[in-house]
Structure 1
Amino acid sequence: MRRDALIRSWHRLHAWLLPWRCLLCGDAGRERLDLCAACAGELPRNTTCCARCALPLPAPAALCGACQRRPPPWDAAWAPFRYGWPLDRLEARYKFGRDLAAGRTLAELWRSLPPPSPRPALILPVPLHRARLRQRGYNQALELARPLGRTLGVPVRHDLLLRRRATAAQTELDAAARRRNVRGAFALREDMALPSHVALLDDVMTTGATLAECARVLRRAGVARVEVWALARAPQRRPDRS
């Protein structure tokens, strides 16, 4: 109770000294959120999507075509937002612009949403290689996972899943190249036992290549149920017809 009272006092002090301001338009934000009601209402929810990979779909369906043909190496996915305007702007500012206020806002958005049930016993954020971590200064997946884990009462561990080699940025690669790029890039600490139900967490899922490689590592370690959680899921790219 004392901790909750201190948190409430901090939020009142913050609102008095530094009022919440919308990071997108500059208007007054809502309590504990640097987004106004109008901009928050524009965030693209991923309500119609594949149950297995969270790919946004035009109409309700249990599984997308790709998951029907070749199911991914995880059991279910949770991605509450689609990667599109204006969430993509906040994500870019957080991930590449070192805008920690944008990251805090994204974390608050995520932790306010109901999680899948049953909850996993452990959350593992996708790791960065130490060279990329030094360059960026923080792991965006870990910083999103920590407040979410506290809200859900699920432990978060960043020291179990390791990125053992540096990989090229996935941004400009196609799906096949992304799979090759991360093949064999991850490993688990040998001295740690894992629970039977684990959630892998990343900020954005595009093709799912990175999460799939991490999921295979967990499967080989004997994890019975692997879920993938991402704040946002990118829509399927249309083939270039030019």
Structure 2
Amino acid sequence: MDIIQDYLLPPTCLLCGNPGTPHRDLCQPCHRQLPRNRQCCYQCAERLEVQSDAPMLCGRCLSRRPAFDDTYAPFVYGDALRYLVTGLKFGAQYKNARLLGHLLAEHLQKTAEKPELILPVPLHNSRYRQRGFNQAIEIARTVAKDMQLPMDLHSCQRRHDTPHQTRLTAKQRRKNLKGAFVVVKPIKVGHVAIVDDVMTTGSTVHELAKVLKKAGVAKVDVWVCARA
């Protein structure tokens, strides 16, 4: 099927327009130039200036531990990643979601323990109707397929249509998101991975992880394409 698709619609790099690699709309030079998030806090993926071979925590996680356990964010949010994410989020470029999903899954297959299911960060119904899709779900579809994992779209809901958080401080974001999520169906697994596009302060995934832990989930990881 992929061979036929590549023949009819040859992969084209979404960043430079040159031919892509097999089954992927990204060329090798652009792939090599993507900004990797290699040296980071293992819990929140914030970039660290200290070089170490051992897993490290940032000062923020040491003083205020988040509800989630580990974060996997292969790239730094900027330039190419910003272009792909904003094109998806505000331009409904679904091909961007497929590429981001492939890149995230490729990283996870080498680094992450497999959870029992993945859960995209829910949008409130009014925001979903306005946008017409949930970018976290679109990315998670590809991740679920590549990693052969079930995806849960029904156990958790966003009950508050929280305002946009772009210009809010970390403290304001935490207040804005308090009580935003609710578990509406039993989650009968012990290990869940939350999937989203970008992680900025971690307030959203912290609040979601908190309700998942209260619902009985023992381990909650966060999988995002990039860390801001």
TM-score range, shorter chain: over 0.9
Percent sequence identity over aligned pairs: 45
> What residue number does 2:140 align with?
145
> What residue number does 2:180 align with?
185
In the alignment, residue 65 of structure 1 is paired with which amino acid? G
Question: 1:70, CA displacement in angstroms?
Answer: 1.4
> What residue number does 1:121 align with?
116
Counterpart-to-counterpart distance in 2, 1:116 and 1:128: 28
> What residue number does 2:196 align with?
202
Aligned residues: 224
> What residue number does 1:104 align with?
98
In the alignment, residue 21 of structure 1 is paired with which amino acid? T
In the alignment, residue 134 of structure 1 is paired with which amino acid? R
> What residue number does 1:163 align with?
158
Larger Rg: 1
CA contact (8 A) 2:177 2:204 kept: yes
Question: 1:203, CA displacement in angstroms?
Answer: 0.9
Match of 1:51 among 24, 38, 42: 42
Q: Could you state the TM-score of these two structures normalised by the residue count of structure 2?
A: 0.93
Counterpart-to-counterpart distance in 2, 1:144 and 1:208: 18
Match of 2:221 among 215, 219, 227: 227
RMSD between superposed Cα atoms in Å? 1.5
Q: Taking structure 1 as reference, are residues 35 and 117 closer, same or farther at Cα in structure 2, changes over 3 Å only?
A: closer
Q: Say whether 1:212 aligns with 2:206.
A: yes
Counterpart-to-counterpart distance in 1, 2:178 and 2:110: 30
Question: 1:78, CA displacement in angstroms?
Answer: 1.0
CA contact (8 A) 1:49 1:60 kept: no
In the alignment, residue 25 of structure 1 is paired with which amino acid? C
Question: 1:57, CA displacement in angstroms?
Answer: 1.4
> What residue number does 1:5 align with?
none
Question: 1:12, CA displacement in angstroms?
Answer: 2.2
CA contact (8 A) 2:12 2:20 kept: yes
> What residue number does 1:72 align with?
66
Question: 1:58, CA displacement in angstroms?
Answer: 2.1
> What residue number does 1:18 align with?
9
| Structure 2 residue ranges without an equivalent (≥5) | none
| Structure 1 residue ranges without an equivalent (≥5) | 1-9, 235-242
* CA deviation vs aligned residue, 1:152-185 (integer Å, no higher than 9, x gap): 2321101111001211011121111111111111
In the alignment, residue 58 of structure 1 is paired with which amino acid? E
